Structure 1
Amino acid sequence: MSQVQLPEVSAVAGAAKRILHNIQTDPEFSAFRAASLEYSSDWQCFTGFPVVDRWTLELDAAPLFEEGMRALALKAAVFEATGDDQAAEVAIAVPVDEMTHAMLAQAQLFARIVARTGVGIIHQTDQEHTDYRSGGYTHACYRTAWGEPPAR
């Protein structure tokens, strides 16, 4: 992990909310969401979904999309504050990480959205941290931005 000092939780939370809002209000966001959720039939993560109590693709895909967007917004906020892509790879839960892969698979559509919004989307598989823990840095940033994360 990077040795860069992580930004204050409140600064990350505020930036993440702004970033998420800008992405969600982009004219192509609904198409991006639909394409990302369509990709869910290809998910084959056997390490993360069992941790979601009574996992069903029909019920959990849309909430995981929201959590994936929030995770990418938090990463982008840390990157915006530090300029360090390794520091921006904050810990996220495996099911949420799997959803971010579905989002990033919509490369052309997502590239246009982030170009218009000026967001630096961070995700590099060999740098990712899927060791999310309640009470950690990501949890604190999330809770400050959007309240307590869903228990599932």
Structure 2
Amino acid sequence: MSTSTMPSASQVGERARAILAAIQADPEFAAFESATLEYSSDWQCFTGFPTISEWNLDTDKAPLFAEGLRAIALKAAAFELTGSETAAELPLPVPVDEMTHAMIAQPQLLARIAARTGFTLIHQTDQEHTDYTSGEYTHAAYVAAWETEPPTRYWLDKTEVDRRLAVLAEKYDSIGFGRSGRQHAIAF
């Protein structure tokens, strides 16, 4: 679905704001947040969070959780307004998408919250778009929803992510982690 057939960014933003408020008001929200942030011990992706400059799990996880929630709300709003899972897979920046994975790893809590608040969680890895670019549709919907610019610490443009991934790949290779951490030759 092209952006010309998508609902206006302000429509998506308005609905996303309401969805996020409902999620945060849910009686199990605190448990969901706690479980998601506890998942941090398993956050060893070499190509997601490390694209954040001077990434620090302790100081970045809470603000990144907030951004992941906003992304989930935007995608849920897009789905509600279009009825299309494909259209609802809005482009996200890699670090924010990675946080949504940590949230989805809490399936029971998230499913109950979604059922009570009436939103549909949209995420399918082979359909996701991590080609976010500021100034485009997702950015406009974000601004419409929260009347502020997305924090550029986490909402990185695709071209900048690609540049940072090349820097990381070179560093990983230099210490024996090939293919950005997808292989190594260490014999244990």
TM-score, normalised to structure 2, is 0.78
- Aligned to 2:85, what secondary structure does the other structure show? coil
Residue type of the partner of 1:80?
A: E
Please give the per-residue CA displacement for 1:74-120, whole angstroms capped at 9, x wherever unaligned: 00000000000000000001111111011011001111111000101
Distance in 2, Cα, partners of 1:50 & 1:108: 28
Q: Which residue matches 1:36?
A: 36
Equivalences for residues 2-151 of structure 1 within 5 A: 2=1, 5-146=5-146, 147-151=148-152
Q: Which has the higher contact order (CA 8 A, sep 6+)?
A: 1
For structure 1, which runs of at least 5 residues remain unmatched after alignment?
none
- Aligned to 1:86, what secondary structure does the other structure show? helix
How many angstroms does 1:16 deviate by? 0.2
Distance in 2, Cα, partners of 1:46 & 1:133: 22
Stretches of 4+ moved more than 3 A in 1?
A: none
Distance in 2, Cα, partners of 1:132 & 1:111: 26
Distance in 2, Cα, partners of 1:123 & 1:64: 18
Preserved contact between residue 12 and residue 78 of structure 2 (Cα < 8 Å):
yes
Distance in 2, Cα, partners of 1:52 & 1:39: 19
Residue type of the partner of 1:55?
A: W
TM-score, normalised to structure 1, is 0.96
Would you say how many aligned residue pairs link Structure 1 and Structure 2? 151
For structure 2, which runs of at least 5 residues remain unmatched after alignment?
154-188
Residue type of the partner of 1:151?
A: T
How many angstroms does 1:3 deviate by? 5.2
Higher Cα radius of gyration: 2
Preserved contact between residue 76 and residue 121 of structure 2 (Cα < 8 Å):
yes
Residue type of the partner of 1:139?
A: H
How many angstroms does 1:151 deviate by? 2.0
Q: Which residue matches 2:180?
A: none
Preserved contact between residue 49 and residue 98 of structure 2 (Cα < 8 Å):
no
